[in-house]
Amino acid sequence: MCGICGILNYGNSEPTFDEALLIKMSDTLAHRGPDDAGTFLSADRRVGFGFRRLAIVDLSPAGHQPMFSTDGSVALMLNGEIYNHEVLRREFQAKGRVYRSRSDTESIIYAYEEYGLDFVHKLLGMFAIALWDEKHRRLVLVRDRIGVKPLYYTFGSGQLIFGSEIKAILQHPDVSRELNEDALDSYLTFLIPPAPMTMFRNIHKLEPGHLMVVTKDGEIRKEQYWSPVPVSPQPSIDLDGTSIPQSKLLDASQRSSEEVCISNIRTLLKQAIKDRMMSDVPFGVFLSGGIDSSTNVALMAELMNRPVDTFSVGFKHLEKYNELGYARQIAREFRTNHHEVMVDHAMAFDFLPKLVYHQDEPLGDPVCIPLYFVSKLARDNGTIVVQVGEGSDEQFAGYPSFLRELHIYRWLWKPYQLLPEFARRAIYQLAGSVLERQRRYLPLDYIRKATEGEELFWGGVNIITETHKKALLNGSFSSSGTRAYEYAHRWHEEILQRDPQADYLKRMIFLEFKQRLPELLLMRVDKVSMATSVEARVPFLDHRMVEYSMTIPTHFKIKHGEPKYILKKAVEGIIPHNIIYRKKQGFAAPVSEWLRNEWSAYAEDAILNSGVLTPARFSRECIRAIFENHRRGVRDEGMQLWTLLNLALWYDHWIDRRS
């Protein structure tokens, strides 16, 4: 795990950067790589790389990056891990390649020399890659299939500037800090703008499963090399290079068997966890006491001859948010070396400036707070690599909201579409006057979507609806960019083009992989864990698991009203029954309580005096009403207020540059 950045000058002007600028850019990424640093500057000074290393595999100087091909024509940087690098090593050594290190990065170079741009299909792992090919005079940027690792870029003044984090790009003197007005609408809906958009004007993020090639003349080609729902069969990777191939797991004749699904899930999950134990430094697990993290612990314990290091976080004085009892049960059951940290409002408050700095763009998810403290706990105890449980609920329909959305779609939304338009609009007007007055925006938005013929499901976030957004934003503020609904509609169209028979649950899961999972949930894991120089690995999002899970029928994912049914059956006998079938709690942070009490005055002042409100983007009266309703307990507006506070603090730090 590392930090990468660089510049390609493809214009006709003389190069405008030097090694000092590359070092300045990479130094902003020191938290991602505190162990080593490196630069590369081409002979004509038109290409430059900056690198910061977090040493995980091959801790010797041989693992230094940027890394070069034998003849020096290829320079490469990797942020992430290639879990099948030993398999690739055996292949390339058999072809006469001589390795100079034990690093996984070296295998990428040989894969590129052997397969060209198809090299990406040979890689199993999480990665953001930057590669300069001197022979073909091209820069290649790649983001991993799922989007575990971020990669940002911008074009301007005849240059491409890129980095693992936006803060590195902002060090370039030609890059300005401007709010992307067109992203504001999507931020309020999705809590982070969809790729390739960011909250910074003219700064973009590479989409998951995409690679981009930029030639020395500035010709740009971007293509999608992977999707969770392929149009045609995708290149497969054997589970460990020698055993069960992916093609057998995807055998259509076996998918209807529940027993085969369970067996395949176990096989894939055990392999994914085993692969992610590849490390030359101490590793452990973030343990919440839920199904996913508990399964990580159980399967890891099977493979280890020492106790698993586990790390949990709780909140002082707010017991309803804590799952520590279940985490301790798993720790006892599997005899882990267990650690805990307790967070209170003061600790979280003191962390806010650092949170804004490390997020780069606002991530409207307060789970960033406990995630930081449990990451710091791991680092303070000498653990550098952790496995986390993200991605399971998205694949296997583990969210209660999925059940609600499916119920509404089947029994309300679809029948409502059969009504004449005048009847739908009459119902909407009648219900709207009542629900809007009561500020019941979510049910009102369901009716609005059905009335206007919009897709019901836009993603797993329903914090600020379109009706609420209209009240929140001043009528004079308008965005010329793509509206949130247009993104949702586009994603629904894409999945139906890829699979015309996709049922609504499959469509919902596909949307999660397009937006919320990579750009919000995985982004928070990357940014916050790396803030403490800890690498987080995500076994449930092994792409082989994702490809297989997308073929599992809906009636195995939700059965007898039980969400996540097939995964729960798969882990029976691996983790305790009460852990599997307890009521889902979810990883959360008590920002509602803090914003009602200790943080209330500060948050209201910070939002109402933020530069993001001017010129007249938001209604101050609406914001004051939200605070008042929340303080009085009329309704819980904590997530809406957190979304606004995060935006305000981000704008004042990054755009207005307030201290």
> What is the SS3 assignment for 562?
strand
**What contacts 156, CB < 8 A, 6 or more positions away?**
174, 175, 202
- For 553-591, letters b (16+ CB in 10 Å) and e give eeebbbbeeebbbbbbbbbeebbbeebbeeeeeebbbbb
What stretches of 243-317 adopt beta strand conformation (E)? 283-286, 309-315
> Taking Cα atoms as reference points, which of 127, 146, 148, 151 lies closest to residue 203?
151
What is the signed CA dihedral for 541, 546, 548, 552, rounded to 10 degrees? 110
DSSP string, 132-177: EETTTTEEEEEE-SS--S--EEEEETTEEEEESSHHHHTTSTT---
Q: Pick the catalytic residue: 2, 5, 261, 368?
A: 2
Enumerate residues 6+ apart whose C-beta is below 8 A from 610.
647, 648, 649, 651, 652
Could you tell me the two tokens for 653?
A: 């730090």
SS3 221: strand
Beta carbons within 10 angstroms of residue 82's beta carbon: 26
Measured CA to CA, the distance from residue 453 to residue 421 in angstroms comes to 10
Active-site residue flag, 2: yes
Give the C-alpha separation, 364 to 186, whole Å: 12
CB 188 within 8 Å of CB 472? yes
CA angle (181, 147, 309) in 5-degree steps: 120
Catalytically active residues, by annotation: 2
